[in-house]
Amino acid sequence: MAEFNYTAKDFKSENEVRWCPGCGDYAIMNAVQRTMAEMNIPHEKFAVISGIGCSSRFPYYMSTFGFHSIHGRATAIASGVKTANPDLNVWVITGDGDSLAIGGNHFIHLVRRNIDVNLVLFNNKIYGLTKGQYSPTSDRGVVTKTSPFGTVEDPFIPGQLVLGASGNFFARAVDGNVKHTQEVLKLAAEHEGTSVVEVLQNCVIFNDGIHAEIADPKFRNERQLFLEHGKPMLFGNESEKGLVFENGKLKVVTIGTDGYTLGDILVHDAKTADPTLHLALINMALPEFPVAMGVIRSVDAPVYDQAVRSQIETVQASRKISNVDELLRSGNTWKVDEESSSEPVPFFLKKCPLKDA
């Protein structure tokens, strides 16, 4: 491939990157830039759309076209960009506040329509930009500036929302694991339709270590299960553990124990339309289960922007009226002859004078 010979550097802007030192956003940006460099798409075809939040500063740091838009509306704006100009490769950079609080509505409708955009959801379970209030993904009971005695509400699990909205692509990654994040982003980018990648991101100032139990490289093999389509669901330092499906639910087993063999371990099918197992994988949580990483669901389905275009083409080909001008000149139209009338022609029957002025 490498027709364009881009490197990640080609996607960096000249703006000084201003996130807090140690913020997980740096690593995610590197992964995105490396992914874009490998996509073999002309640089000018990329558009990066963000809403409001720390992660939403992203477009300033990219050399691509972009939008730093309205709180929660990045998904709606991206829907407009992609539908109006399907040639663009559209990315939405958003956070748990932006996409799941005020933007929850637009988020589920983007997913439901299956518009071909790549959405990267930075989940740090806190409002970082406004300095530390709880977010819709904050765990029940968490103490923040607006919940000094602990929250009394349950969080959204982003993957559940995606499946609930009949989503076709959901993946999960960890900010510090740039190599894996990049692999996942590549698959997300290749997927046609809305792809949602949740990146567990550390907010070093207001929620430091929130994902440490999962994300710490020390425990990576034991606490994260890296899913790959067509491969058995194995984890552990020696890949000695795996998942089986028994009595209608997932179960962790050790190969060679209780009679379980490698042949009993579930093989990941990301491409099956049935979301049952995908949901079970999304729901897996410590300590009973490892946390599912990688592409959990990647199903081919009709894509909105392609369908819109093809519908327009079909209708245009089958109708006599193919554009607005022809529509206006069809049916009950007549010409007002100014000179033959003795009455003055009312202004609303005349051409708007604005253009002549």
Partner 1 sequence: MGELRLMKGNEVIAEAAIRCGCDAYFGYPITPQSEVMETLMAREPWNQTGMVVLQAESEVASINMVYGAAGAGKKVMTSSSSPGISLMAEGISYIAGAELPCVIVNVQRGGPGLGTIQPSQADYFQSTKGGGHGDYRLIVLAPASVQEMHDFVGLAFELAFKYRNPAMILADGAIGQMMEKVELGEFVARQTTEQVDAQYGSWATTGKKKSRAKNVITSLELDSALMEQNNLRFQEKYRKMQQDEVSFEAIRCEDADYVLVAFGSSARICQKSVELARAKGIKVGLLRPITLFPFPSEPIARLAKQVKGFMTVEMNAGQMIEDVRLAVNCAGERNPVHYFGRLGGIIPTPGEVVEALEQKLIGG
The residue ranges that bind partner 1 (CB under 8 A) are: 52, 68, 70-72, 101-102, 104, 127, 129-131, 133-134, 136, 145-149
- Residue 160: CB minimum distance to partner 1, A: 16
Residue type, 93: I
Question: What DSSP element (H or E) covers 82?
Answer: helix 74-84
Q: Closest CB to partner 1 among 149 and 347?
A: 149
Q: Closest CB to partner 1 among 136 and 159?
A: 136
- Residue 148: CB minimum distance to partner 1, A: 5
DSSP SS3 for 99: helix
- Residue 92: CB minimum distance to partner 1, A: 17
Q: Closest CB to partner 1 among 145 and 309?
A: 145
CA dist., res. 60 & res. 25, Å (int): 13
Q: Closest CB to partner 1 among 95 and 242?
A: 95
- Residue 56: CB minimum distance to partner 1, A: 10
- Residue 11: CB minimum distance to partner 1, A: 24
Q: What b/e readout covers 75-109, taking b as 16+ CB neighbours within 10 angstroms?
A: bbbbbebbbeebebbbbbbbbbbbbbbbbbebbbe
Q: Closest CB to partner 1 among 102 and 301?
A: 102
Whether 266 contacts 276, CB under 8 Å: no
- Residue 156: CB minimum distance to partner 1, A: 10
Q: Closest CB to partner 1 among 101 and 117?
A: 101
In a 13 Å sphere around the CA of 246, the CA atoms on its Cβ side amount to 9
Q: Closest CB to partner 1 among 37 and 77?
A: 77
Do β-strands 46-50 and 291-298 pair in parallel, antiparallel, or remain unpaired? unpaired
- Residue 127: CB minimum distance to partner 1, A: 6
Both tokens assigned to 338? 């100014």
Q: Is the peptide bond before 302 cis (omega within 30 degrees of 0)?
A: no
Q: Could you tell me which of 67, 84, 68, 10 has the C-alpha nearest to residue 43?
A: 10
Both tokens assigned to 225? 């299960």
Q: Could you tell me which of 231, 22, 221, 196 has the C-alpha nearest to residue 112?
A: 196
